Amino acid sequence: MNNITTDQMMEIRKNVLDKEFFRMNDRQREAVFCVNGPLLILAGAGSGKTTVLVNRIANIIRYGNAYISKTISSYLTEEDLKAARRYLSADEPLTPQVKGHFAVEPCRPWQILAITFTNKAAGELKNRLIAMLGEEGNDIWASTFHSTCARMLRHDGEKLGYSNHFTIYDTDDSRRMMKECQKTLNIDDKILSYKSILSAISHAKDSMILPGEYVQQAGNDSRLGMIGQAYKLYQAKLKEADAMDFDDLICNAVYLLQQNPDVLEYYQNKFRYVMVDEYQDTNHAQYLLVKLLAQKSANLCVVGDDDQSIYKFRGATIENILSFEKNFPNAKVIRLEQNYRSTKNILNAANAVIENNRERKGKTLWTDNPAGEKLGVHTAFSEQDEADFIAKKILEGVAAGRKFSDHAILYRMNSQSNILEKIFVKSGIPYRIIGGLRFYERKEIRDMIAYLSVINNPYDEIRLRRIINQPKRSIGDKTIAQATEIAATLGESVFDVIKTADQYEPLKRTAPKLLQFAATMQQLIDAANDEHTSLNELYHLILDKTDYIGSLKASEKRRRAGQDRQYQRTCVNLIKYEEDNGEEATLSGFLEEVSLLTDIDNFDGNFDSVVMMTIHSAKGLEFPVVFLPGFEEGIFPGMQAIYNPLEIEEERRLAYVAITRAKEELYVVNAESRMIFGSTSRNKPSRFVEEIPEELVVRSRTREWKKPAPACPFPLLLLRHGWLRPNRRAASARRT
């Protein structure tokens, strides 16, 4: 290759890479090719950030730093350059070997860590990587913060005093445990509620404040002192149960890395590249985790939008993204401002609202999409009139050819859904309420998960107490309390006491039932430890040994409600988990997966029904038609935020998120009067509505409430969509 210069070879290589990633715009490609060093990608709503993440990872694996580097691979041949020219001029595909010769310091898939905020986002990222890279995409660590930390703690948790099959407690488990702590400490829930205590503990963990530090900082404040004592006891009980709550997963992973240089070195060497999505929603503990992991390589890429930072109530701090360049010197910032989702009118409205915030880095979204319909701003007489207006618009849309699932209603407070549900039922509009609750909240499913948890970890006393009398075994609360007291006195687990119940006088009367339960559980534990028993087989063994299905079917009320079939959903997910993970499938792994799963992760847009959810839950989703009810001062923004400039900015960011969920049509609705907490209030329209330029909106109002004529008769609507079969006998009778 004596007749070609290094600069010419670099030019050919750049042209090849530009063509490989030609589908992206200039700013997106810049982010893809910026490989080394700290990078902040400010990705506006609908700007294709997932596409950028996927292609950036693919580029790092295939080509490394080839686009910017001046290094030329010694493997590059004249034939490779000829192949490249043919590719550039005639679209003749490049072979993997030629692509490899153009690469400069490419990375293996398992050396990349990509952290997302939801399992749904992690799944989408991985699926798209597999589509681009083939099976190599499976080797990338793409998971949520909690899943990433749980995986690290499963491997090295013993260094912090946990087994590798520790239990992850969900919100219900934490509630049960905190109520026990309140009882032990004589804390009246009416004076200091378990919710308040758990919220304070969660914020303390987000800030990496240990129980002892919390008590010390409380000083003479009696309320904080009680919280501190509850925090200490709560953590002691968690440790005793070999369990962690969601916040523990993050802060314990940080402690693991801080206190064990060998573990820190292992992960710093393992991950050459660390990428974090939704960085604006990280808390202090998550920031420390990311900083520790990327400290050695400095190859940290974070993607986020300061204008969409809406989780302050969960401990998120917008300062993490605002101070990125300060925290990571020599960082590069790339703004993705082209929006592919919304119409110009919707986008201009969103820009106009968010520009009123001061605490932001600044960017202006734009789009090549058409102007579209103007925003509908409707003032209703009452909340019922508001719901009627929304129902009428949905029915009009469906009559014009839209699907019910094209419509979403996003509200500030969960309570706003009540009146909408009533009106939708009357109007024959199918709907689904999607929440941020854990997916496995249904009682029957929770019972089955509790059985699996105790089999995995017999020290999990919270879940042991849940199942000891499910199905009914005539083991009362008094017996359970006595067993717990004996266990505490002897320093043993409750399960160990139950296994030898006939040795304790207080348990003599119920000993046969306790021993039978213990024997059943021991059989199941032995089966779980048998490598020849699959998780699906174990699950059916639980159903058989406990006669759980029989007890459900015996309940006529539950049988009619279909709850005797809820357990099947767990079975389906177990089978899918085993298929996805093959030989690596474990009981603790499955329990970890389901404990971190939410309704949002299981959101499926294929169901033809209107979607209702809070604005917080709608983050990352999009819909052709969006309704935003309750845009009133005191509702949105909330009363607690009105006099606090920082809180108002958070509320405005939430309004920005709500507006940018809409693709084609947006309706912002407020009511002149609304029943709130049992009393009627009259609120003026939200300031966020007033911040939208008048030329972008079409206003309408209802002067007084009237029951609107249905857009489509209810039976006819049911017939049209196949939800009701015509009564042929009745029709025949009418004809005669």
Catalytic-role residue among 80, 170, 278, 650:
278
Q: Which residues have a Cβ under 8 Å from the Cβ of 537 and sit 6 or more positions away?
A: 527
List alpha helices for 494-555, DSSP H: 494-499, 511-529, 535-546, 548-553
Contact 19, 87 (CB under 8 A): yes
Residue 337: closest CA among 48, 622, 624, 53: 48
Catalytic residue among 29, 661, 674, 687: 661
- Residue 512 burial class via C-beta count within 10 angstroms: exposed 0-12, middle 13-18, buried 19 and up: exposed
Q: What's the CA dihedral at 163, 169, 175, 178 to 10 degrees?
A: 20
CA atoms within 13 A on the CB side of 276: 28
Distance CA 485, CA 472 (A): 22
Catalytic one of 14, 18, 50, 421: 50
Catalytic residue among 27, 49, 272, 499: 49
d(CA 77, CA 98) in angstroms, rounded, equals: 9
Q: Any catalytic annotation for residue 49?
A: yes
Give the residue carrying structure tokens 């009680």.
226
Instruction: Report the C-alpha gap between 708 and 380 in whole angstroms.
Output: 13
Active-site option among 180, 277, 306, 593: 277
Name, in order, each residue with C-beta under 8 angstroms of 479's C-beta and a sequence gap of 6 or more.
507, 510, 514
Closest residue by Cα to residue 324 from 355, 294, 356, 365 = 294
As a whole number of angstroms, the distance between CA 307 and CA 656 comes to 7
661 catalytic, yes or no? yes
Which residue, among 351, 419, 416, has the nearest Cα to 632 in the 3D structure?
Answer: 416
Residues 6+ apart with CB under 8 A from 674: 382, 383, 630, 632, 635, 680, 681, 682, 683
- Say whether 50 is catalytic: yes
Establish how many alpha carbons lie within 13 A of residue 352's alpha carbon, considering only the half-sphere containing its beta carbon.
18
Q: Considering 308, 317, 470, 510, which one is annotated as catalytic?
A: 308
Helix (H, G, I), strand (E, B) or coil at 3: coil
Q: In 10 A of CB 728, how many CB atoms? A: 8
The conformation of residue 709, written as its DSSP 8-state character, comes to P
Instruction: State the SS3 of 21-75.
Output: CCCCCHHHHHHHHCCCCCEEEEECCCCCHHHHHHHHHHHHHHCECCCCCCCCCCC
Whether 690 contacts 398, CB under 8 Å: no
Element (H, E) at 113: strand 112-116
CA dihedral over 137, 138, 141, 144, signed as positive or negative:
positive
- Residue 442 tokens read as 């249904």
What is the spatial distance between Cα 528 and Cα 522, in angstroms, rounded to a whole number?
10
DSSP 153-187: HHHHGGGGT--TT-EEE-HHHHHHHHHHHHHHHT-
Cα 664 from Cα 569, distance rounded (Å):
35
**Residue 597, SS3?**
coil
Q: Is 128 a catalytic residue?
A: no
Cβ–Cβ under 8 Å, residues 247 and 596: no
The DSSP code sequence of 691-704 is TS-GGGEEEEE-SS
Distance CA 385, CA 672 (A): 10
Output the CA torsion sign for 176, 180, 185, 186.
positive
Q: Which residues are catalytic?
A: 49-50, 277-278, 308, 661
